[in-house]
Chain A
Amino acid sequence: MKNVVGIISGICNSAALESLTKSRPISTVPFGARYRLIDFALSNMVNTGIRTVGIVTPYNYRSVLDHIRSGKDWFLDRKSGGLFFLPGNDRENGGSGSNFVLRDLLENMDFLKKAREEYIIISCSSIVMNIDYREAVSFHQNNDNEVTFIYKDEGFKEGESEGVFFIEQSGDRRVKEIIPGKQRRFNGSDKALLNIVIINRETLTRIVEEYGENGDSDLFDILGEMIDSLRAYALEFRGYAARISSLKNYYNHSMKLLDSRVRNELFMRKNKIHTKITDNPPTRYGEKAEVINTLAGSGCIIDGHVEGSIIFREAQIEQDAFIKDSIIMQRNVIGKDVLLENVILDKFVTIKDGTVLRGEPGNPIIIEKAAVIGPEEGDNEKYNLRSG
């Protein structure tokens, strides 16, 4: 993959996950017991053999820098090529709805011009998938494409597809039309773009120079307008892909990791998903631990009952705690006799002894980063919270 450069947009849908994206962009939202969402996009590029990757930074990107640092954990600390941070414009509103703001690429024109590679793969950072781009790149090269999209039929229902682009193709896989989700016709195409595009560097440079000054134009909108004049094709991705675009589907897609087929596809292949290495000890299960159907990271100390849950690195769960259908993030401390059901705890949360938090199925309670939840000193009433 000597001839390909990667660009990852940290911006797409960056404010979509309510309080999970209050202090961080969507790229660094924790996922799957030890990962951040951007790990998937970044690992896919590295595993394909791409050795130069630019990351367009979203608003509030401290957590992106903290997570990726020199790129060493993705083997991107290179003498030639390597990892580049491309400061994006779009800081305030988090670019909700936008995927690839052309103005951000214009600001980083030097990166595009300096590259000697002919092709660019642009990907957003909020889709969980394990894809090797080699097949798509050879199709792009052999078929002499200018643009190659990757799509998947995700079975979107009516009214669910805002922010998603769909395509109509002709028989030879050429893209005839790009349809924004809002304008999707009843019984229209089910081919949803996975926010990944392979594009000739020359074509991209031309588009950025022509449209980049133009407000917050989105690359996909512009490609849609230009579609007739482009050699644009699309390939289907048949593997597992989870598009994270709301708190609800974040929760549901997290829980799908408990399915061995999903886990095998994401984590057990030759191409591994890389993440920041933290050197935790293994996880310790206590005498009284009762854990079933749960995915757990390293460095946890688990003494309570856990089922149907995702437990991130270094969480502590004390005796007689009962946790069901919940997402427990890094360094959460769950006290004795706590009951959690349908709950998402952001990082560093402490749940004091005896607290009960019970969300409704499909409507989890979410607790903000570093919150301390539970009864005040001397308060004998149990702390009790329900969603709804």
Chain B
Amino acid sequence: MMRGHETKPASSGTGEEAPGGMAECPLVPAYPTGRLGRLQRHLLSGEFDQLRDFPIFESNFVQVTRLGEVANKVTMGVAASSPALELPDLLLLAGPAKDNGCLQLFGLFPLQFVQLFVHDESRWQLKVKFRTGRAFYLQLRAPAETRDREFGRWVRLLYRLRFHSAGGAVPFTQEYSTVEDGEDDQDDDTIEREEQDLKAGSLQAMEARLDPQTSELWGL
């Protein structure tokens, strides 16, 4: 994929759109200012009839390596294929086209085959892992003043998806991502104990920090 020229998280997306965040108005869920997100606007442009009415929660990211090196821009959204659904069921990934930079939809993936993790909360990084084993890391691109709030909505969403699908599993991967990547030599028992401790601690911290009243879309 194309390498970007940013060396740290940009303060905003392309500069023209409103920062990604959840809406006060349920009809424009991702953008409190009433402006639609890039992905939603792309889907509304008329080329994707089947996808244009999906409620979407989206943000702009940069793809980063596990160690945090910046690669390319990605817009990621979760969508509900039916407004009747309690939770989103699709993941949408888009990015700039190589030739003209216009947003291009890359793929649509049922969330049941994708796992989303918080990879590094201090760097606003998520990990996206497909059932096939393919995984990548995304760092939120948002203005500094709204970044924590916007990332918090993703964390909240991840909790909801996890509680829905795995009976309470915690969507944090940072503490054991090295194990997944085969670079940690801790024995399994130690890791398990640490995970349990971290799970309890993380849960408490998250629940206390997030504001449940900020959005009407999936309660994010």
A and B associate in one complex: no
